[in-house]
Amino acid sequence: MPYFYDLEFASTTNATPSTETTQMAGKQVAAGAVLGLYGFILCGRSLTAGGGAGRTKTNTAGGTVFSGGTAQTPTTKEPRAPAAQSTWVNGGTAITAGTTLLVRNSVGFAQTGGTGGLQPITPQAAIQVEGGTTPNPVDIEFTNLSSTASIACDITLEIGEGL
Amino acid sequence: MGTLFPIGKKVAITAKSPVPVAGSGDDHTGKTGKVRGYTDLAKDDIIHVVDLDEPYFVYGPNDPKFDVVTGKPVQGNKVEWIEVPGSCLS
């Protein structure tokens, strides 16, 4: 059974309406455990009605990995669980996106607070990063965009390591 | 293949990374920590994940905000690790 972790980030969508910004990203260390995405939740916090979306992308093996961002450590669900092996960043400082990104899902949220998100129906249905000598895909990235500029949007990721 | 420090080894950061890496783009010269793993073994200058001995906080443009009772920062991101190429470690 995996060890589970969560990460939260209070993001702000792009200053140009309907423009994507990379808000969070993660990758597994070499020879790390299989990394799975078990939850991706977005919550808009605006007084202005409108629509937003969050997208999950994987960076195909061979692509250049994302860079930059502010390092963020996943919080363990079980307090005595080991620290996550994977490394994660948020957009506290700008993230430069990877190069061979494939959109894996897109979930909607209401700018005024209607939460949007997804959770896989089984662990095998989770988007996974194989943790070999060279992880594949090389990273997983999360973006959001909204019809109104600069919307406050909380993002929660739930991840697991091992299957 | 470039310098490879063993996992768990105590290291010191001796130079700013010449290449973009994840975690923070700041100059971390002088910080110390332990090697947790590698995020790119394929490069000549292997990228190491270093768990810092002393975490630090990064604040957004309107931060920091402080707890009125304790005086401690209540917002910001606690940075516990950084990525560093092997050539910047000793």
| pLDDT computed for residue B65 by the predictor | 65
Under an 8 Å CB criterion, which residues of B touch A?
20-25, 36-42, 49, 58, 60, 77-83
E strands in B13-46 = 32-40
Q: What is the pLDDT of residues A21-54, one digit of tens each?
A: 999 999 999 999 999 999 999 999 999 999 999 9
Give the one of B25, B41, B83 whose C-beta lies nearest to A93's C-beta: B25
| Radius of gyration (C-alpha) of chain A in whole angstroms | 15
**B1 domain-assigned:** no
Q: Report residue A10 as tokens.
A: 């209070």
pLDDT at residue A122 tops 80: yes
**B3 domain-assigned:** no
Residue with tokens 């971390």: B28
User: Which chain A residue lies closest to B39 (C-alpha atoms)?
Assistant: A29
**B25 domain-assigned:** yes
Tally of domains in chain B = 1
Alpha carbon distance A113, A49 (integer Å): 9
In 3D space, the residue among A20, A35, A13 whose CA is nearest the CA of residue A106 turns out to be A20
**B2 domain-assigned:** no
User: Count of CB contacts below 8 A, A vs B?
Assistant: 67
Give the one of B21, B36, B60 whose C-beta lies nearest to A92's C-beta: B60
- Average of pLDDT values for B20-49? 89
**B75 domain-assigned:** yes
pLDDT at residue A14 tops 60: yes
Residue B39 belongs to domain spanning? 10-88
Tally of domains in chain A = 1
Q: For residue A65, what is the domain's CATH number?
A: 2.60.120
**B60 domain-assigned:** yes
Residue A107 belongs to domain spanning? 3-161
**B76 domain-assigned:** yes
- pTM of the predicted protein model: 0.91
